[in-house]
Chains A and B, each alone.
Chain A
């Protein structure tokens, strides 16, 4: 332990951030609470769901919502409510990992590109400019075509389609820091490139990083639902909201409308919650990003 870096405590006590956020952005706080609730429900799906989400019961096909099955059953007699609770697991898992991977990879590329500049930066920027000219879903679908379907590939496809978007935003924030005196000071003290990047630049782009991360979450869940709906995402019989809306839900929409109504409500509700939380976080953390 030769290196001794003394960490001096902050001069001021941290403001009670959470309390301030709740008072200042009540809508965002409500959205956060809703997300937390859905997260807990998804995590305890095994205990919460009244039925096995995969259990086929041909005697109960297309049951109406009632005391036996609160939200009815689908074309295989599977309980819609149970499938929705397990579907929340899929949505949150895919959404979270895809957003995290996409924002992080894009963020790291953005910071490194901004720090080193020159030709590499130029090439990366042109590349990112081209890639953002494709709608997210087109990019994700093309990547699915290359990687194949399945949950892991789906996460990778959604994450990769986020990378150029994250890269551009984080790079823009990092560029501003590159010329600051304290970075000059760090360089003058003999700090290496990677030390400067990770100790001095990265902490400064945390705010935009968190903002895009939450913004991506809603989009990732929507993308997962869309791709699963198209048969390019999560495969049957895994419970996923987008998948629940495809096939039989459309064919039998008049006979069993509950099959189509409830999963769609769940998607809309969750995406809405993430968008509202994202907007509030953006206003609180980095008002400059407001469009």
Chain B
């Protein structure tokens, strides 16, 4: 097992290097000059001297291979360069916002699980009844409703009935847990509902498949109660693919956070990404994309390990 974990862990690195190369190519091989694009999009009056100065400041006067080497060498030392806008190290810009986004992602995932597993199971057990249809409509709607609109509606609701407005500053969980949770529960709900949709469908179809198995019929003929059959025999086996889906959704959550953080005025990774894009801060964009890819690769690793642990049939070698 240790060998398997070590092997899987080491395999992460070639993937990440490939991702880094791709991101660099994607972001840097821009048609046109990065500096001019940035200055023009900032609405500044530019002379040749200004452009040249800016280019030296950003290290863009070096040949492209040198820039690439710098980026790769920096990565090994966890140095993602400095932001083209604020001048602060990219890793620092990310670090100060990561706590908020991670907490929000965890809360949203938790909400998604709490919604998806019981609803999906209920739909599968009561297949073809109005409960099944209601759950399916609920989850299909979750995929169609934009999470930022849901966020706006939540704010409208809270404003009207509780005179609550999204606070301007973020309260850390360690400082004031109550204020922190009150602040983050609403965006987590808006994101979590959307992400529960896929997991609900997955739970339903996986459970339906398991319920057709022979050993479930045996359990029925033994005279076990439905509750015991579902909880102890069926759901346990059905949850394996659900774990995978929820894990991948967690890795993808940062995409959902991009709009939701904007609505709820939360200064997290998603908002930083939007700012980086609109300011054309290429080093910051590179760093953030690397973070997203890292989250995906890391979550995949965790899912594989979880699988090996949950399902004894999977051999690791």
Contact = CB atoms under 8 A, between A and B. Distances in A.
Contacts of A130: 15, 18-19, 22, 293
A146 B37 CA distance: 9
Interface in A108-143: 126-127, 130-131, 133-138, 141-142
A250 B140 contact: no
Contact of B141 (A245, A257, A268): A268
A250 B159 CA distance: 12
A141 B273 contact: yes
Contact of A275 (B143, B254, B280): B143
B144 interface: yes
A138 B289 contact: yes
State the main secondary structure of chain A at its contact with B.
Answer: helix
Nearest to A137: B255
Contacts of B285: 142, 145
A110 B256 CA distance: 28
B78 interface: no
Contact of A261 (B153, B256, B274): B153
Interface residues on B, range: 35 or more
A252 to B, nearest CB: 11
Contacts of A291: 202
B155 interface: yes
Interface string B147-169: 01100110110011000000000
State the main secondary structure of chain B at its contact with A.
Answer: helix
A103 interface: no
A142 B152 contact: no
A231 interface: yes
B153 A232 contact: no
Contact of B255 (A136, A225, A250, A257): A136
Interface residues on A, range: 35 or more
A141 B144 contact: no
Interface in B119-158: 140-141, 143-146, 148-149, 152-153, 155-156
Given A134-B292, A148-B41, A229-B148, A142 B27 contact: yes
Interface string B12-31: 00010011001000110011
A222 B152 contact: no
Interface string B254-283: 111011001100000000011011101010
A147 to B, nearest CB: 8
A232 B278 contact: yes
B149 A267 contact: yes
A130 B37 CA distance: 27
A126 B14 CA distance: 12
Contact of B278 (A231, A242, A260, A267): A231
A267 B141 CA distance: 11
Nearest to B253: A135
A135 B252 contact: yes
A291 B145 CA distance: 21
Given A133-B296, A136-B255, A253-B159, A272 B152 contact: no
Given A226-B148, A260-B156, A133 B258 contact: no
B29 to A, nearest CB: 9
A141 B155 contact: no
A272 B19 contact: no
A136 to B, nearest CB: 7
A271 B194 CA distance: 13
B100 interface: no
Contacts of A136: 255
Interface string B104-122: 0000000000000000000
Contact of B160 (A148, A218, A254, A268): A254
A211 interface: no
Contact of A133 (B27, B141, B160, B297): B297
Contacts of B252: 135
B159 A254 contact: yes
B146 A145 contact: no
A158 interface: no
A135 B254 contact: yes
A144 interface: yes
Given A146-B27, A229-B148, A138 B258 contact: yes
A253 B264 CA distance: 13
A163 interface: no
Contacts of B18: 126, 130
A141 B284 CA distance: 13
A276 B149 contact: no
Contacts of A56: none
Contacts of B153: 260-261, 264
Given A135-B255, A230-B258, A253 B22 contact: no
A134 B152 contact: no
Given A138-B289, A226-B148, A268-B145, 6 more contacts: A133-B251, A222-B146, A253-B156, A275-B140, A276-B140, A291-B202
21 contacts: A130-B15, A130-B19, A135-B252, A135-B254, A138-B258, A141-B258, A141-B273, A142-B285, A142-B289, A145-B276, A146-B26, A148-B41, A222-B146, A226-B146, A229-B148, A229-B259, A253-B152, A260-B152, A268-B146, A272-B140, A272-B144
Interface of A: 126-127, 130-131, 133-138, 141-142, 144-146, 148, 218, 222, 225-226, 229-232, 242, 245, 249-250, 253-254, 257, 260-261, 264, 267-269, 271-272, 275-276, 291
